[in-house]
C-alpha cells in the first residue's frame, strides 16, 4: 500500500538556521502531496501542497517541490524562527484510492532555539 517516510526527529536548530525535513513516498499513480503542521494542543494545519510532478508548494517561507523521479517532497525554509517550533507531517492523497484518505508520515518534531 501507499506509504510516507519522514526523517527522524527531533530536529533542533538555532534561530535563522536553514531547515530541511526529508520526505519520500511510495504510491501508485500520481498522488497529491502535502505538508501539515501541528502546534502543541492543536489539530493539523495545512502548510503547503503540490498536486503534480515539478510543482512547488510554498507558504510562510516554507517550500517543497514534488519530485516524481526521486519520489520526494522535502520541506525547506531558509531562516527558521522560534515560532516555527512544531511537529511537521508529510502526507499523500492518492486519487486512485476510493474516497478521501490521507496517508501520513510519522512526523518530525522541530525545535528552534533563540
Residue with smaller CB distance to other proteins, 50 or 80? 50
Residue with smaller CB distance to other proteins, 3 or 20? 3
Residue 114, C-beta contacts closer than 8 angstroms, at least 6 positions apart: 14, 15, 82
Residue with smaller CB distance to other proteins, 86 or 91? 91
Residues that bind other proteins (CB under 8 A): 32, 34, 36, 42-46, 49, 51, 89, 91, 93, 95, 97-107
The three three-digit cell numbers of residue 2, written as one number: 501507499
For the chain, helix (H) and strand (E) counts, in that order, are 0, 12
Closest approach, Cβ 48 to other proteins, in A, equals 10
Closest approach, Cβ 89 to other proteins, in A, equals 7
Burial grade of 71 (CB within 10 A; 0-12, 13-18, 19 or more)? middle
Amino acid at each position: 500500500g501507499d506509504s510516507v517516510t519522514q526523517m527522524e526527529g527531533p530536529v533542533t536548530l538555532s534561530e535563522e538556521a536553514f531547515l530541511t525535513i526529508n520526505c519520500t513516498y511510495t504510491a501508485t499513480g500520481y498522488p497529491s502531496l502535502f505538508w501539515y503542521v501541528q502546534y502543541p494542543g492543536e489539530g493539523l494545519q495545512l502548510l503547503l501542497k503540490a498536486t503534480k510532478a515539478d510543482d512547488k508548494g510554498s507558504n510562510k517561507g516554507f517550500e517543497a517541490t514534488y519530485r516524481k523521479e526521486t519520489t520526494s517532497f522535502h520541506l525547506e525554509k531558509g531562516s527558521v524562527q522560534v515560532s516555527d517550533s512544531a511537529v511537521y507531517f508529510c502526507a499523500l492523497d492518492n486519487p486512485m484510492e476510493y474516497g478521501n484518505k490521507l496517508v501520513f508520515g510519522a512526523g518530525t518534531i522541530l525545535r528552534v532555539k533563540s
